[in-house]
Amino acid sequence: MIETLLTPLHYDYMLKAIFVSAVIGGVCAFLSCFITLKGWSLMGDALSHSVVPGVAVAYYAGWPFAAGAFVTGLLAAVGMGFVKTKTRLREDAVIGVVFTAFFALGLLLISLYPSQVDLRSIVFGNILGISNPDIVQVLIISGVTLVVLGCKWRDLLLFCFDPNQARALGLNTTALHFTLLTLLSATAVAALQTVGACLVVAMLVTPGATAYLLTDRFGKMIGIATTMGVGTSIVGAYASYFFDGSTGGCIVTLQSLVFVAALVWAPKHGLLAQRARRREAGRAEVAS
Amino acid sequence: MMTTLLEPFQFPFMVDAMIVGVAVGAVCSVLSCYLVLKGWSLMGDAISHAVLPGIVIAYAIRVPLALGAFASGLLCAVLTGFIKANSRVKEDTVMGVVFTGMFAFGLVIFTKVKSDLHLDHILFGNILGLAPGDLRDTLIVAGGTLAVVLALRRDLLLYCFDSGHARTIGLRTDLLHYLLLSLLAVTIVVSLKAVGIILVVAMLVTPGCIAYLLTDRFNRMLLIAAASAVGSSFFGVYLSFFINASTGACIVLLQALVFMVALVWAPKHGLLAARRQRRLAGSAAGASGRAV
């Protein structure tokens, strides 16, 4: 029994996968607190799809994949910002138009030169086959993201919560806006490796949403989200060995289960707590 | 020259693909006008991803795949609505959590259920490899959806534009809400074969955006959206034959191209028109300044 449970840990590739997933899960979770507060959840989705043409081009040109992905991700973000300010279209519609165009472009490139890029590893991630240079890239991205978030988190928090107040206090909100956007692109690129383009948004949203249900304080929220991100990534990657497939699917399914648990049983904002409060209020009314 | 250009039409699978592409484009584009007005563009994205577990489960228990896809797409929309109403998490976040959770679950059970489903076909569409009955099914469902949307066009429009007003004049807005969601889910299920999960959202957003840039009248918007989508679908399929590329990607890229053209040259809401207006306003201000 114990023997079976320990088998995944005997394989080098499993250990690597668990370690890298944990790092990415932690960084994404940290960022997810800001993203959910800011209401940029679908921006994460859009950026993670927009990086596909960059990955394709980077493969042909022999660049590190992260560089290409990062460039197209930012390009898409800038494009969205431009179209949104210049037209009367709603933001969500603009996001939809731009990211699907980028994704289609990536798909076209890959279908034109099929042999070199594995579309599946972009869309679903390929953490079990991650190469050492890719691990280094992921670690560098994660390190830089953590440092920037660590230094700037108060400013970013104020910016996410109330940009007007941030501006009034003399913070450079444009710079903060682009900092957050850049961090988002960078982590989306890193997370692409573990869970793939379709599920990156989960890593960037679910931990923050879960933590938001569980606490009212931002410091605690970061702690809870990061713990959850790291924990689910480790357990999910480990469990995927037994499920014989989709590491990203396992990690994200696990995160969703944790979210559902928080939704139901959260001490203050959960469904049960709300119902209990409502019942108590009803009883108090009857008594009075 | 002429024979080369006509070559695609000699293959039955190309003709089928064009018919299906055009039908799907028409339905999606009409619906996209409502979605763009309502601000539901990304609802299409969420529902399209959420159909995956439904397809896999339907396969496992041997019900028609479309039924499973429809049910799980609708479940995603209902769950999103429920969680949003009962918690303090923002709507876009809830949507992100729900659809990724369902998609991930779909992936996990996909690896567990032994099937001859091709994940690539579900994700990216397989319009060039339609099964014999697909053409008929697509046309029936697309036609039905289109008929419902057009029959209720005024009610739906009022609901999308101003749901408060719709309620005041006695329309059943909750009914319209779920009707629109169901139509969306049906449309997505129909479109999966043509462009796949990931690019359906383009078919459901881009034509509406193009039309919204070009006109201020809703009936015209419907026509423009439909024309741009039908044109892009037809030429996308046609083009993909010659450059030997992903058909779904070609369709979506053509739509994006039309969008860019509209963005720059739209007579009233385009970038050039806006610049011209600004310059006119500037010179008018300058003239009045001199007059004073």
DSSP label at residue A7: G
Contacts of B245 in chain A (CB under 8 A): 108, 111-112
Domain ranges of chain B: 12-285
Q: Indicate which of A28, A86, A92 best probes the interface with B, i.e. most B CBs within 10 Å of its own CB.
A: A92
Q: How do residues B42-93 score in pLDDT, each as one tens digit?
A: 888 899 999 999 999 999 999 988 899 999 999 999 999 999 998 888 888 9
Asked whether the beta carbons of A94 and A46 are under 8 A apart, the reply is no
Nearest to B229 by CA among B203, B192, B197, B262: B203
Quote the minimal CA–CA distance from B88 to chain A in Å.
Answer: 7
Domains, chain A, in order of start with CATH, read: 2-205 (1.10.3470.10)
Share of chain B above pLDDT 70, in %: 99
What is the enclosing helix (H) or strand (E) of B23? helix B12-38
Is the backbone of residue B117 left (phi > 0), alpha (psi -120 to 50) or beta? beta
Contacts of B118 in chain A (CB under 8 A): none
Which of B97, B104, B252 lies closest to A248 in CB terms? B104
Tokens of residue B223, six digits = 């026509």
Mean pLDDT of B240-263: 93
Quote the minimal CA–CA distance from B39 to chain A in Å.
Answer: 7
Cα–Cα distances (Å) from B120 to A72, A99, A130, B243, in that order, read 24, 20, 22, 20
Is the backbone of residue A244 left (phi > 0), alpha (psi -120 to 50) or beta? left
Say which amino acid occupies A201.
V
Query: At B239, is the pLDDT very low, low, confident or very high (cuts 50, 70, 90)?
Result: very high
Query: At B125, is the pLDDT very low, low, confident or very high (cuts 50, 70, 90)?
Result: confident
In this complex, is the C-beta atom of B271 within 8 Å of any C-beta atom belonging to chain A? yes
10-residue mean pLDDT profile of chain A (288 residues): values are 82 90 94 91 89 88 84 92 90 92 92 75 82 88 93 90 89 90 89 82 94 93 96 93 83 94 92 89 85
Task: Reduce the DSSP state of residue A127 to 3 states and report it.
Answer: helix
Distance spanning both ends of chain B, measured CA to CA: 66
Q: Which residue of B has its CA nearest to A44?
A: B96
Tokens of residue B55, six digits = 């397809």
A250/B96 Cβ within 8 A: no
* Confidence at residue B216, expressed as pLDDT on a 0 to 100 scale: 92
Which of B108, B212, B246 lies closest to A243 in CB terms? B108
Q: How do residues A137-150 score in pLDDT, each as one tens digit?
A: 889 999 999 999 98
Quote the minimal CA–CA distance from A25 to chain B in Å.
Answer: 15
A97/B97 Cβ within 8 A: no
Q: Is the pLDDT of residue B292 over 70?
A: no
Taking the domain B12-285, which CATH number applies?
A: 1.10.3470.10
Say which amino acid occupies B156.
L
